[in-house]
Amino acid sequence: MPPSTLAKPIPKNGANGTAPEADATELNLFAGFAPFADMWETGMRRWWNLTRHVMGIDRAPVGQTPRDAVWSNGKAVLYRYRSENPTVRPPLLLVMSLVSRSFILDLQPGNSFIERLVAEGFDVFLLDWGVPDEEEANNTLETYCDELLPQAVAKVNQMGGENGVTVFGYCYGGLLSLLYAAGHPDDPIRNLVVMATPVDFTKMPAAMTGVGKGGIHPEHLMDHTGNVPAEAVRASFTLLTPTSDLSTVMDFWEHLDDDKFLSSYQAMTSWTRNHIPFPGATMIQTVEMFNEGNGFVTGDLMLGGRKLDLADITAPFLNVIAERDHIVPPESTYGLDELVGSDDATEMRLPAGHVGLIVGNGARKRSIPSMIGWMLEHSDVES
């Protein structure tokens, strides 16, 4: 809907070359209509935006940075983002969480973590786990940390010129990265970065760790595929802030006439409302090892029948903490730099939420530059 031309600003004084007296009469005639013209324009834009939102017309595209699939195993796919001339070595492997879609890392042009990394000269790879079904129901932590991640890291290392790999895990992807790094100390991990990664599960919100307690067993949550369905995953997030869905609708209604807002709203809601199922066997293991055992803190970590020790992680290490995170509260992530064995271990606290670390203005101005700064310091940069 083209904006109405009725709402042009009306000059307070005479227009160029005309007598103020003559303009004044004209102004008086139209000035009274200006508020109505504004209302008309706003109303029409709201109506049009509502129509296109409901009908799915011209929806905000997500994940637009060009990329190529370079490796796959089952539903896990490794993407490499196209870059004219990557100047930063080693390559960077982003490891996504198991509960959400990976396009949050490449939300929209101008609001994309990956786009920014590529622009800074990184050779960016993304490991996307895909959407699990019956085939992945038996996937365990070993499947991810002993099979898929080592294979993906080997592939990235080979494609990146055998310089090692910076592994970057987000949320549960950080947990997987930690287990992998601890379990494979001889793998070519040049740097390890984890962001918004739960460590002390006793300090996690009840809605996240309630499974395994009070009679709720993981099996109760699983559907016929053997996985925890996406709706249950989403419900657990909703329970953290029960009014958030309603507030989102209110925001939508309030800013319906703002095209830019609508575009961001559509992009974000397509992520927050589209979680993916959580593999059943991994869920059972997570509950036992972390919800009940608090493995990272107690040191009671087992993978593939062997005991893991975070102290075996000796690569330079960065733990990125979101101080306003309500999903993985900051107090549940503190102290990880003390648990790993790296001499060069940093804890970076940033004033952001769980997603705000990588999406939005705060991310663009503060979080992303801070993280990129650390990674550049720990990489080789060709001039």
Contact window for other proteins (CB under 8 A) among 28-36, 275-283, 308-316, 362-370 = 308-316
Q: Is position 187 an interface residue for other proteins (rule: CB under 8 A)?
A: yes
Give the shortest CB-137-to-other proteins separation in angstroms: 7
> Of 157 and 264, which has the nearer Cβ to other proteins?
157
Closest residue by Cα to residue 176 from 248, 108, 128: 128
Two tokens, residue 253: 């209604």
Find out whether the peptide bond into 369 is cis, omega within 30 degrees of 0: no
Under DSSP, the state recorded for 176 is H
Under DSSP, the state recorded for 249 is H
Sites for other proteins among residues 335-364 (CB under 8 A): none
Cβ atoms within 10 Å of 312's Cβ, excluding its own: 14
Sites for other proteins among residues 86-145 (CB under 8 A): 133-135, 137-138, 140, 142-143
Q: Is position 311 an interface residue for other proteins (rule: CB under 8 A)?
A: no
**Could you tell me if 305 and 278 are in contact, meaning their C-beta atoms sit under 8 angstroms apart?**
no
Two tokens, residue 249: 């609708």
The single-letter code of the amino acid at 202 is T
> Of 12 and 306, which has the nearer Cβ to other proteins?
306
Cβ atoms within 10 Å of 26's Cβ, excluding its own: 13
- Give the integer Cα–Cα distance in Å for 319 and 274: 27
**Could you tell me if 179 and 154 are in contact, meaning their C-beta atoms sit under 8 angstroms apart?**
no
Residue 171 known to be catalytic: yes
Q: Pattern of binders to other proteins over 12-51, x per CB under 8 A?
A: ----------------------------------------
> Of 70 and 240, which has the nearer Cβ to other proteins?
240
Length of the chain: 383
Taking CB under 8 A as the criterion, the residue among 16, 29, 214, 383 binding other proteins is 214
Q: Is position 7 an interface residue for other proteins (rule: CB under 8 A)?
A: no
CA 232 to chain centre: 19
Measured CA angle at 325 (ends 366, 230), to 5 deg? 120
Q: Which of 171, 193, 221, 283 is catalytic?
A: 171
Two tokens, residue 100: 């959400």
Taking CB under 8 A as the criterion, the residue among 169, 293, 316, 353 binding other proteins is 316
> Of 213 and 307, which has the nearer Cβ to other proteins?
213
Give the footprint of other proteins on this chain (CB under 8 A): 73-74, 133-135, 137-138, 140, 142-143, 146-147, 150-151, 154, 157-158, 162-164, 184-191, 205-207, 210, 213-216, 220-221, 224-226, 239-243, 246-247, 250, 254, 304-305, 314-316
Catalytic site residues?
171
